[in-house]
Each structure stands twice: as C-alpha cells, then as structure tokens.
C-alpha cells in the first residue's frame, strides 16, 4: 500500500468534512473546496481523522489512495491556513501594483500588463517588486503564480524578469571574442 495513503488526515477544529458518494467537501474559514470521489479509493471518517484505503490490491488503486489522500490534505490545510506564493520582480523599472482583484505590471513592455485574479485568489504587493498570491486552493495559487511568471520569465544573461522568491537563476556567461 502507498506510504502516503496509509497516513490519516487530521481534521483541525473549525473545519468540516462531508463525504458523499460522488464527492468530498471541505469547509472552513478559508472557504469551501470539493473533490470528486475516485472509485478506487474508500474514504472513511473516524475520531476526527480521515482514513484512505485502496478498494483492491491493484497498483492503480494503491497509487490513487496516496493521491486522493494528499489532495484532501491540501484542501484541509487550504481552508484552515491557506497557501501563498511569492514572486519577485528583477529589472530596472519593473514594478507591480495590486488594486483589489487586479494586478498591474510594468515589466519592460511598451504597455502595462493588467491581470484579473480569479475568484478565491487574493493578490498583494508589499513592495513594488514583490507579489504575494494567496488562496485556499493550492493548485489554483500555483497556476496563477505560473501564469504571472510566464509574462516575463527570467532571462539567462542578466536575470531580469519575474521569478519565484526562492528561485535561483543560473546566469550564463556572455560570448567571448
């Protein structure tokens, strides 16, 4: 059996989990998230913990039990604490401003780039060269961060562009005569 799938998911105080035939719903202070049930995984709730077990001994059911367990764990953490990604802008004149659900970027183009944030995602700019993306859904937070980074990815010669806060860019050496 999957080692990840064997571990139960603890449900913290203030988080409600409802298991139905077709979906698992998690509700907390950060919002409500739901996940479609998989036929290969049996989900049970006992004593404030969720337990995941494969329906049979097949390799697919074993792998899916660990996958579903981690997805539900991410939902529980998301509605209780939330997830965040930090981006930094490197380059002369590169700056970002957040206004409500919009992010305005000046990243070296002849025009400003305006991005509308999807529902459930909050954006903040503590400094003009930092972007903080927060939300309950880990996948959507990461996807929005990746889309913002793709507007101006870091280039390999000077390192200018939008990068993750913990990302290390390997700078290439310039051409020699």
104 is written with which tokens? 């305005």
Domains of the chain and CATH, by start: 3-80 (3.90.930.12), 83-164 (3.90.930.12)
Contact 160, 88 (CB under 8 A): no
Burial 91-126 (b: 16+ CB within 10 A, else e): beebbbebeeeebebbbeeeeeeebebeebbbbebe
Per-residue pLDDT of the chain (177 residues; tens, 9 = 90+): 568 888 999 999 999 999 998 899 999 998 999 999 999 999 999 888 999 999 999 999 999 999 999 999 999 999 999 999 999 999 999 999 999 899 999 999 999 999 999 999 999 999 999 999 999 999 999 999 999 999 999 999 999 999 999 999 999 998 888
Contact 83, 73 (CB under 8 A): no
Q: What pLDDT score does 80 carry?
A: 94
Neighbours of 66 (CB within 10 A): 19
3 is written with which tokens? 């080692």
29: helix, strand or coil: coil
Burial of 29 (0-12, 13-18, 19+ CB in 10 A): exposed
Predicted TM-score (pTM) of the model is 0.89
């Amino acid at each position: 059996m999957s080692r990840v799938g064997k571990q139960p998911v603890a449900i913290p105080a203030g988080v409600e989990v409802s298991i139905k035939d077709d979906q698992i719903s998690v509700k907390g202070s950060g919002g409500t998230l739901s996940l479609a049930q998989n036929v290969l995984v049996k989900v049970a709730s006992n004593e404030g913990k969720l337990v995941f077990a494969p329906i049979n001994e097949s390799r697919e059911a074993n792998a899916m039990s660990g996958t579903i367990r981690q997805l539900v764990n991410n939902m529980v953490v998301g509605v209780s604490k939330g997830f965040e990604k930090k981006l930094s802008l490197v380059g002369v004149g590169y700056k970002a401003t957040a206004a409500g659900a919009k992010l305005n970027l000046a990243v070296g183009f002849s025009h400003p780039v305006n991005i509308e944030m999807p529902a459930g995602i909050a954006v903040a700019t503590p400094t003009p060269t930092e972007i903080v993306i927060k939300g309950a859904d880990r996948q959507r937070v990461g996807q929005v961060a990746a889309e913002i980074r793709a507007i101006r990815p870091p280039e390999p010669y000077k390192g200018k562009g939008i990068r993750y806060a913990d990302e290390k860019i390997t700078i290439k050496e310039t051409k020699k005569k």
